[in-house]
Amino acid sequence: MLREYHSWHSQSLDHKMELLVFGHAGAPVLVFPTSMGRFYQYEDSGMIDALQDHLENGGLQLYCLDSVDNESWYNYGAPPWHRIQRHLAYDRYITEEVLPFIGNRNPNNFLITTGCSFGGYHAVNYGLRHPEFVRKIIGMSGRYNMHNYLGDFSNDDVYYNVPFDCIGGLGESDYTNRLRGQEINLVAGEWDLPVCLNETRQLSELLYLKNIPNNLDIWGQNEHDWPFWRQQILKYL
Q: Beta strands of the chain (E only): which ranges?
A: 3-10, 15-22, 27-32, 60-65, 111-116, 134-140, 183-189, 215-219
pTM > 0.85: yes
The set of residues, in sequence order, having a beta carbon less than 8 Å from that of 47 and lying 6+ positions away, is: 31, 226, 229, 230, 233
CATH number for the domain spanning 31: value is: 3.40.50.1820
- Residues 37-82 pLDDT 10s: 999 999 999 999 999 999 999 999 999 999 999 999 999 999 999 9
- Residues 109-118 pLDDT 10s: 999 999 999 9
Number of domains in the chain: 1
- Residues 149-164 pLDDT 10s: 998 999 999 999 999 9
How far is the C-alpha of 153 from the C-alpha of 227, rounded, in Å?
36
- The answer to whether 223 and 169 have CB atoms below 8 angstroms apart is no
Q: Are strands 15-22 and 60-65 parallel, antiparallel or unpaired?
A: antiparallel
What is the pLDDT at residue 213? 98
Q: 3-class SS at 93?
A: helix
- Residues 179-235 pLDDT 10s: 999 999 999 999 999 999 999 999 999 999 999 999 999 999 999 999 999 999 999
What is the pLDDT at residue 53? 96
The domain of 154 spans 3-236
Angstrom distances, CA of residue 96 to CA of 89, 90, 121, 124: 10, 10, 20, 19
Dihedral sign for Cα atoms in the order 221, 223, 228, 232:
positive
